[in-house]
Amino acid sequence: MTAAASLAASGEGRLTDRPTSRPRGPDEFTRFERARILGARALQVSLGAPILIEVPTTLVDPVEIAEREFAAGRIPITVRRGPGE
């Protein structure tokens, strides 16, 4: 009997391909997460949501406003990574 089989038979260890303690994720967003956040926020702004930063009155492009809010760290959107989080 192999070591893994004996652990499984005894019920002491758990056989998984994933590590037991999952890292929370990178400190930065991936390009896909960034695109999703900016797109969602630009849609909100275009539909009349309040703008969360000071912008010039001449700036009316929702995508540009969303990019500036993202750079300022003011977008109230969270990202869930993986199952169970």
Mean pLDDT of the chain: 82
Residue 81 has what pLDDT?
A: 84
The better pLDDT of the pair 27, 69 is held by 69
Kindly list the domain boundaries of the chain, sorted by start residue. 24-85
In the chain, pLDDT over 70 holds for what percent of residues? 67
Residue 6 has what pLDDT?
A: 61
The CATH architecture that domain 24-85 belongs to is Alpha-Beta Complex (3.90)
Mean pLDDT of 34-47: 97
Residue pLDDT, tens place only, 15-27:
556 555 555 555 7
Cα angle vertex 42, ends 40, 72, to 5°?
Answer: 95
* pLDDT exceeds cutoff 80 at 9: no
Which amino acid is located at 15 in the chain?
L
Q: Which residues contact 31 (CB under 8 A, 6 or more apart)?
A: none
